Structure 1
Amino acid sequence: MKQFLLFNFCLLLGLTTHWAYAQQVVSGQVTSADDQTPLPGVNVLEEGTTNGTITDLNGEYRVTLTTDNPQLVFSFIGFAQQTVAVNGQSTIDVAMASDTRQLSEVVVTAAGIEANKRELGYSIQNVDAEEIVQSRETNFVSALSGKVAGVQVTSSAGTPGAAAQIRIRGNKSVQGSNAPLFVIDGIPIDNSTYNTADSPEDDVANLGSGGVTNSNRAIDINPEDVESLTVLKGPAATVLYGIRAANGAVVITTKKGARNTKPKISYDFGYTIDQVNKLPDLQTTYAQGAVVDGVPTFQAAMNGFSTSTSWGPRIDGLRYADEESRWDPYGLIVPATDPRATSRVARAYNNAEDFFQTGSNATHNISVSGGTAATNYFFSIGRLDQTGIMPNSFFDRTSFRATTSTEIFKNFDVTFSANYINSGGKRLQNGSNTSGVMLGLLRTTPSFDNSAGYLFEDGTQRAYRGGSIYDNPYFTVNKNFTTDDVNRVIGYSQLSYDALPWLNFTYRLGVDTYSDERLFRNDVNSSSVQAGQAINQTINSKDINSDFLMTITKDISETIGLNFTLGHNYYSKDVAINRIDGQGLASPGFFNMASATSVNVAEGVTRRKLYGVFGTVTLSVADQLFVNLSGRNDWSSTLPKANNSFFYPATSVGWDFTQTFDIDNPIFSYGKLRASWGQVGNDAPFAVTNSGFAQSRVRDGWTLPQGVIFPALGLNAFNPDGLLGNDQLKAETTTTMEFGADLQFFNGRIGLDVTYFDATTTDAILNIDIPSASGWQQRAVNSAELRNYGIEAALTANIISTGNFNYDATLNFTHIRNKVEKLAEGIPFITIDPFGTQRIAEGEPFGIFYGTRFLRDDQGRVVINPANGLPFEDPNEGIVGNPNPDFLLGFRNTFTWKGLKLSFLLDIRQGGDVYNGTKGVLNNFGVGAETLDRNEQVVFDGVLGQVQDDGTIVATEQPNTIEVVKGGTDGGTNYYQNYGFVNLTELTIEDGSWIRMRDLSLNYKLPTQWLESSPFRDINVGFIARNLFLFTDYTGIDPETNLTGASSNVIGYDYFNNPNTKSYGVSVGLTF
């Protein structure tokens, strides 16, 4: 790989030459041609470069030119763009004519095809590169939060390198991927998230309930390299990408430099400090123990107990004795009535608050760009160092990128690009995992100090339960971490030939390959694996993509224009995952496989190929009606031969009715109506058409957490892998209708882009249970149907524009509804989460929460048990929550005054329930803040019930008047322990609505005249912040969390997840 990189960089450098130019300064004034008033804020750009300025309060500008034969481009909202040749002039005054109808924004659509946004008949949305950079997110996906209508982003956690999930217009597949395609410069890239045997208590292919928060591979993208970003939402926009874009596409164009420009060197630095933004509230009043014979009793390891709960006495009623204890540096704790008690009151600890540290995030980026008459180039180096809020956690990323394009001969351009990324770090365990940091931390009783040491001299673990039933969080962060090291190359070569003024041929070959090496550790004396365990996992992935395109752009007549593209695509993906599991380590801290008493090896290889041909034709009629027809046919290797070919079409219409009716009104400036219809396919997962076998394994729950994995005792065994092959499978199909309008008012100062869409997925692939007598448990079938529909709106406004002061605002609104129309015959629902509470059920929204709840009568009144005064539990489970939000709102506000710029994004989510399993367990354990009311006498609102002879419960009309002590007088009457380990599902469901300051930046650009005698072209300094404040009624950590990560279809799951962060810091940008 290093030789490959060296070769490419040498090649790129060899093609690049540097040119020196004489500097020329041009100044002038820009006015309105309508009334001759000065125009402040006009963009003045040297054509073909990024060199430019904006006009001041008096409409005046001054710019230093960098090219030979320069031209200046003047652009401003509501005015026609003008290009003026300098021709040696030192003063150029320009009068700009108003023209709000010419929306000449060029965007990159599917297959890398550039198009005028005005001519599109479907919805797309751009995100300014500056917005992405200013958020200072480690994960590129997280930087899109709140910035695009129809898009929902969920960060897994605030831990370094954590994955982020992205969905465009909801979930369209039941068990397949719902993630969009990521494309860089026309090359689709991998954005997978692979788990590492998530926790030692889980199967290898589990649902992600524990383990560490791994990265999605889009985290390897350096935001500083991005020039522009476009989100393609529906099939009419993505059809040319084929099945890989069944869920939409995020199309990224990177910086490439410009021809005829002298070298420009840029350096950007950002530094933030990170802090926990939200934690569950815990009680620090009551000690470890239980209620014994009606009396709260102190029970801890120091007095011979291993009680997990904190239902003991008040801590201020306990004293230290003059006796040493290995469990507490201050001595043995005893009741105040104990003869050994001294006057020293026992200490109470807030273990959660004391555990976290201040993290940091530092980024350095340097780039060189420019070009000659025939060549342009861009080189960049980026470095990110993130230290976590949890001790001993970090993530770093180093990126080298080089791109050059040269005209070998007239009309024939060759482009080379190579991006090498090294990323990885140290990751900590979370979730349903007795070695999870948050599980051990939050369950710890407030009468025990975790930080007083996690190991005894004999090497055994010091934890609050007396052994290692739950790991001390300091033991976990120092002993049970996972390291990963990713080496990745993304590169492409492109040939482009303009055979005729109206005919272009383009060939593009791209590769995305990486190796991901991981070491998962569970040290000796860990709660999960007492004997110790090490898992070495290596993931090798290689994607190859080839595109050939022929494009015709020609006016057929004076009123009809034609744009036609015909293309071929080849795509292959190879993934090899090797896993070595060693158990029974020779000594603590030594994770060499040679020291393990038992070693098991597993290998897995997936291969996939896809061939596609596609075409698209757009007719422009009188520059006001734009009609598009597109289609693609794919041949997929994951489907049976009889069904591996499938075609999907799309059509769209855009009508600029202001042109048709010659509307020239300062109030209503521009209007376009659009409509589209399209289909897109989604093929089957790998190896579901054939039956397979897997190495046998025997598990015995807690006594054998890893089970017996063959080969064992010299024997080997295989059994059916559980999924019976189906050679009749066919592709899933999503059909979408879309209607929308692009409107502008007040000479373009207000713009509205609104869209209604309705998407239905049919023949969705679903694994259904089959009789076990077959030897298999499930079979994949085409049976499910889902519907997503909703409204997206993007509102832009230049609210104030006076002199040097401007106030611009952008509002992105998303309202999506979904419904599972059907699953399969005899299957009303399937469970998708680790604990059986989230379902995909017929007739219900995607991912509803389903579980235990209070028993209610026909009037909705809770039925109370007359025997103990506590509510009855309904013997029938039911729907208790919906994780899908009512709406999402992103509100960007930007204020500029001279060189000062303030920008902030408010992110609002209304609705969307979250499963707070953490709260249920903390209340059961008596450490949740809610349990402070344990001694209060309460009367639960409801009516009394009667238990019939057959066991059924019937509600009466008698109101409940029974007073109960909420904490109970024994385990059977404790409200918080009466309904199981995690409590009733109903009590764990909470509203996940929020209002947050997603990001904020305050930047100052030094005046150009200050830099005239310096080597700098520009200097920017700023203050930056992220998640600066959060308002939510959710009682857990930040409700933007998801235990099962980015690759799962589970939504809104919080079970001892690692917390999120808030950040603030500084940035500096220099241009030479």
Structure 2
Amino acid sequence: MALRTFVMNTVKVARNFAIALAFMVFGAVGVTAQNTGTVTGLVRDATTLAPLAGAQVAVEGTGVGGLVNNVGRFLLLNVPAGTQTVNVTMIGYGAGSATVSVTAGGTATLDFEMREQALSLEGVVVTGTAGQARRREVGNSIESVGAADIAVAAITDVSNVLQGRAAGVSISGTDGQVGSGSEIRIRGNSSISQSNRPLIYVDGVRMENDALMSADEGAAGTMAIDGINPNDIDRIEIVKGPAATTLYGTEAAGGVIQIFTKRGSAGAPAWTVTVDQGMQRMGHQGPQTAADVKAMSNYFTRNNPDVYPTGDYNVDYLLPEGDIGNSNGLRLNDCASGDPMSQYSTIDGYGAEPGCPESGSWFRDASMQRYNLSVRGGGETATYFVSGRWADENGVVDPQGQQSYNLRTNVQFQPMDGLDVSLNNMYTKRNITWIPNGNNASGLFLNVLRGERGYTPGNDDSL
């Protein structure tokens, strides 16, 4: 009898527990259902009214979301009651956002009409592969330099824009003269036989990137990229390294530089004026006085007694006869026998016979001035950006210098729905004056280095 009573009590306890558990579960579901609702709606193209299947719909801050089906409809369940923000995104369209009031146990309806807006999503990159992709989906390193980075520094050309602003990008000048170009390398050299220069695109159009060399100027050369006005640049995107070949082909083994210029914006005309002025000065070039020459000659005599005879300062002690090529003595402010400067003796700034200038007189304080004017504006169907620049830059060696003129016009208009027209024009003119330099046989500094040392300007007894 006791055993039966125990079994019956156990059955009652189990039954009561099951009832309590069911009440808790279904009661919780009921409470949840009372605090949430449903959001449904339609997502279409604003122009064609076609359904946008695959668009992503999400309730902000709740983790509730879903995709639009083939007929353009979406259904979001268990949306917390109250005022909620619903966001819609799709590649190729501007993001949509709207608020909706959700009632507990009710259904709210919210429709979206989205307009095409290429590249409007953050981090979207147009590649050489089919379609578009988010930045995180692209397997290549892409770095951007924006207009804000350009505005904070005195930029002379586009090559300077990239200097120190993008990791892995190195800029090296081809020559020290004003207007000379720079070699650009992205993550070093990738080939020993082919070009290591990156491909350059300006507003989607490929630009020539070979150096324009002049046989008369030795190693000096200009780069077409430096003909672009830095003030016209909106941003620069850099695709680094050989991985860029998957996007742009084998020619992009050295990387790719995409330059996007500024565009107009709807509204009243907005004018911008930029003025840059400055001065360049040659730094210390080494000993330039007779005392410096004497100290140097005594140094050679003291440390090389077998080559240079001892004694007081004298030109004969600087170089044994016939041993001109063995000295590292003062070069820059000597004049050789026969005067290596004679071919310039009739040009102001290089000295005229008789006499030979000190090295300091070869250099000058070089002025620089640049003036830029731009305007942007437009209406609902057409926008424009127009800019012009004039620049005058002098080199530290007369008559080095360049004058440049830039004019750009970017116009975008939409004559009808579904048709966008863009017209980009750029005019560049550069007048560059160089002296023979580098490995040119008539180069100024090459001939100075070939000359004998020991002449002190103004002291003929030193010869």
Partner Cα separation in structure 1 for residue 308 and residue 173 of structure 2: 44
Partner Cα separation in structure 2 for residue 237 and residue 313 of structure 1: 50
1:189–1:139 CA distance, 2 compared to 1 (3 A): same
Match of 1:385 in 2: 392
Match of 1:973 in 2: none
SS of corresponding position for 1:141: helix
CA offset digits 1:163-215 (Å, max 9, x no partner): 1111111111112210001111111101211322266xxxxxxxxxxx15121
Q: Which amino acid aligns with 1:423?
A: R
Q: Which amino acid aligns with 2:200?
A: F
Partner Cα separation in structure 1 for residue 162 and residue 328 of structure 2: 47
2:267 aligned with 1:261: yes
Match of 2:430 in 1: 423
Match of 2:455 in 1: 447
1:311–1:367 CA distance, 2 compared to 1 (3 A): closer
Q: Which amino acid aligns with 1:263?
A: P
2:293 aligned with 1:284: yes
Which of 186, 192, 195 lines up with 1:177 in the alignment? 195
Partner Cα separation in structure 1 for residue 254 and residue 328 of structure 2: 53
CA drift of 1:132 comes to: 2.7
Match of 2:53 in 1: none
CA drift of 1:231 comes to: 0.4
Partner Cα separation in structure 1 for residue 403 and residue 125 of structure 2: 31
Which of 202, 207, 210 lines up with 1:192 in the alignment? 210
CA drift of 1:124 comes to: 0.7
Partner Cα separation in structure 2 for residue 280 and residue 379 of structure 1: 48
* 1:429–1:436 CA contact under 8 A, matched in 2: yes
CA offset digits 1:979-1005 (Å, max 9, x no partner): xxxxxxxxxxxxxxxxxxxxxxxxxxx
Once the two structures are superposed, the pairs formed by residues 108-123 of structure 1 within 5 Å of their partners are: 108-110=125-127, 116-123=134-141
1:278–1:134 CA distance, 2 compared to 1 (3 A): farther
Partner Cα separation in structure 2 for residue 254 and residue 354 of structure 1: 43
CA drift of 1:125 comes to: 0.6
Partner Cα separation in structure 2 for residue 379 and residue 464 of structure 1: 64
2:174 aligned with 1:156: yes
* 1:105–1:118 CA contact under 8 A, matched in 2: no
Partner Cα separation in structure 1 for residue 252 and residue 441 of structure 2: 39
Which of 402, 405, 413 lines up with 1:406 in the alignment? 413
Match of 1:1005 in 2: none
* 1:273–1:358 CA contact under 8 A, matched in 2: yes
Partner Cα separation in structure 2 for residue 278 and residue 84 of structure 1: 66
Match of 1:231 in 2: 238
Q: Which amino acid aligns with 1:226?
A: I
Partner Cα separation in structure 1 for residue 246 and residue 454 of structure 2: 58
1:433–1:235 CA distance, 2 compared to 1 (3 A): closer
CA offset digits 1:646-701 (Å, max 9, x no partner): xxxxxxxxxxxxxxxxxxxxxxxxxxxxxxxxxxxxxxxxxxxxxxxxxxxxxxxx
2:444 aligned with 1:437: yes
Partner Cα separation in structure 2 for residue 292 and residue 119 of structure 1: 70
2:315 aligned with 1:298: yes
Q: Which amino acid aligns with 1:106?
A: G
Once the two structures are superposed, the pairs formed by residues 1015-1034 of structure 1 within 5 Å of their partners are: none
More strand by share: 1
Match of 1:217 in 2: 224
Match of 1:1038 in 2: none
1:429–1:266 CA distance, 2 compared to 1 (3 A): same
2:115 aligned with 1:106: no
Q: Which amino acid aligns with 1:415?
A: S
Question: What TM-score do you get using the length of structure 1 for normalisation?
Answer: 0.26
SS of corresponding position for 1:159: coil
SS of corresponding position for 1:284: helix
1:428–1:114 CA distance, 2 compared to 1 (3 A): farther
SS of corresponding position for 1:246: helix
* 1:362–1:385 CA contact under 8 A, matched in 2: yes
CA offset digits 1:3-28 (Å, max 9, x no partner): xxxxxxxxxxxxxxxxxxxxxxxxxx
Once the two structures are superposed, the pairs formed by residues 740-779 of structure 1 within 5 Å of their partners are: none
% identical aligned pairs: 26
SS of corresponding position for 2:222: coil
Q: Which amino acid aligns with 1:122?
A: N
* 2:376–2:383 CA contact under 8 A, matched in 1: yes
Q: Which amino acid aligns with 2:207?
A: I
CA drift of 1:216 comes to: 1.5
Q: Which amino acid aligns with 1:284?
A: V
SS of corresponding position for 1:256: coil
CA drift of 1:150 comes to: 1.5
1:230–1:116 CA distance, 2 compared to 1 (3 A): same
Once the two structures are superposed, the pairs formed by residues 544-693 of structure 1 within 5 Å of their partners are: none
Once the two structures are superposed, the pairs formed by residues 135-154 of structure 1 within 5 Å of their partners are: 135-154=153-172
CA drift of 1:434 comes to: 4.7
* 2:125–2:135 CA contact under 8 A, matched in 1: no
SS of corresponding position for 1:276: coil
Q: Which amino acid aligns with 2:225?
A: A
Q: Which amino acid aligns with 2:226?
A: I
* 1:352–1:441 CA contact under 8 A, matched in 2: no
CA offset digits 1:769-815 (Å, max 9, x no partner): xxxxxxxxxxxxxxxxxxxxxxxxxxxxxxxxxxxxxxxxxxxxxxx
CA drift of 1:310 comes to: 9.8
Q: Which amino acid aligns with 1:357?
A: R
Match of 2:248 in 1: 241
CA drift of 1:369 comes to: 1.0
CA drift of 1:236 comes to: 4.3
2:279 aligned with 1:270: no
Structure 1: runs of 5+ lacking an equivalent: 1-33, 35-80, 86-102, 200-210, 315-325, 328-348, 453-462, 467-1072
Partner Cα separation in structure 2 for residue 242 and residue 141 of structure 1: 24
1:181–1:280 CA distance, 2 compared to 1 (3 A): farther
Partner Cα separation in structure 2 for residue 373 and residue 432 of structure 1: 57
Match of 1:168 in 2: 186
Partner Cα separation in structure 1 for residue 194 and residue 400 of structure 2: 32
CA drift of 1:223 comes to: 0.4
Q: Which amino acid aligns with 2:405?
A: T
* 1:106–1:114 CA contact under 8 A, matched in 2: no
Partner Cα separation in structure 2 for residue 350 and residue 105 of structure 1: 61
Match of 2:147 in 1: 129
* 2:281–2:396 CA contact under 8 A, matched in 1: yes
* 2:287–2:293 CA contact under 8 A, matched in 1: no
Partner Cα separation in structure 1 for residue 402 and residue 433 of structure 2: 6
* 1:399–1:422 CA contact under 8 A, matched in 2: yes
Q: Which amino acid aligns with 2:164?
A: G
* 1:160–1:388 CA contact under 8 A, matched in 2: yes
Question: What TM-score do you get using the length of structure 2 for normalisation?
Answer: 0.58
Partner Cα separation in structure 1 for residue 436 and residue 442 of structure 2: 7
SS of corresponding position for 2:209: coil
CA offset digits 1:495-524 (Å, max 9, x no partner): xxxxxxxxxxxxxxxxxxxxxxxxxxxxxx
Q: Which amino acid aligns with 1:266?
A: T
Larger C-alpha radius of gyration, 1 or 2?
2
Partner Cα separation in structure 2 for residue 366 and residue 83 of structure 1: 38
* 2:367–2:393 CA contact under 8 A, matched in 1: yes
CA offset digits 1:238-281 (Å, max 9, x no partner): 533223322111111101112x3111111111112112356466
CA drift of 1:138 comes to: 2.5
Q: Which amino acid aligns with 2:376?
A: S
Q: Which amino acid aligns with 1:105?
A: E
| Equivalent residues, number | 312
Structure 2: runs of 5+ lacking an equivalent: 1-60, 62-94, 100-119, 302-306, 331-337, 340-355
Q: Which amino acid aligns with 1:391?
A: D
1:376–1:354 CA distance, 2 compared to 1 (3 A): same
More helix by share: 2
SS of corresponding position for 1:365: strand
